[in-house]
Chains A and B, each alone.
Chain A
Amino acid sequence: MDFTAVLAQIKPKLGCVADNLALIEERIEQAKAAKADLVIFPELALTGYFLKDLVPEVARRLDSPEIARLLELSRGISIAVGFVEATDDYRFFNSALYLEDGVIKHLHRKVYLPTYGLFDEQRYLARGERFRAFDTKFGRMGLLICEDMWHLSSSYILAMDGAATLLCLSSSPGRGVEGESLASAASWQKLTATTALFLNCRVLYCNRVGYEDGVNFWGGSEYIAPSGESIIRARLLEEDSVSARLEEGALRRERIFSPMLRDENLFVTLQELRRIERERGL
Chain B
Amino acid sequence: MAGLSANTELLRKILVGFVQDEVHKVGVKKAVLGLSGGIDSALVAFIAAEALGAENVHAICMPYKTSNPESEAHARLVAQACGVDFTLVPITPMVDAYFGMFPDASNMRRGNKMARERMTILFDHSAHYSALVLGTSNKTELLLGYGTLYGDMASALNPIGDLYKTQIWQLSEAMGVPNEVIEKKPSADLWAGQTDEEELGFSYRQVDELLYRMVDLRLTREELISAGFGPEFIDTIYKKVQNSHFKRRLPVIAKVSNRTIDRDFRYSRDWGK
Contact = CB atoms under 8 A, between A and B. Distances in A.
B11 interface: yes
Given A52-B266, A54-B267, A178-B3, A13 B18 contact: no
Nearest to B264: A53
A216 B12 CA distance: 13
B270 interface: yes
Given A179-B7, A180-B7, A212-B270, 12 more contacts: A14-B270, A16-B272, A53-B265, A54-B267, A178-B2, A178-B6, A181-B7, A210-B21, A211-B18, A211-B21, A211-B22, A216-B14
B221 interface: no
A14 B6 CA distance: 30
Given A13-B272, A211-B22, A214-B22, A177 B266 contact: no
B115 to A, nearest CB: 23
B119 to A, nearest CB: 20
A211 B13 CA distance: 13
Contacts of A146: none
B5 interface: yes
Nearest to B16: A237
A44 to B, nearest CB: 13
B53 interface: no
B178 to A, nearest CB: 24
Interface residues of B, number: 25
Nearest to A236: B13
Interface size bracket, A side: 20 to 34
Given A53-B267, A214-B22, A237 B13 contact: yes
Given A178-B5, A237-B17, A50 B268 contact: yes
B271 interface: yes
List of 7 A-B pairs having minimum Cβ-Cβ separation, nearest first: A52-B266, A211-B21, A50-B268, A213-B268, A53-B266, A14-B270, A177-B11
B255 interface: no
5 contacts: A16-B272, A50-B268, A181-B10, A211-B22, A214-B22
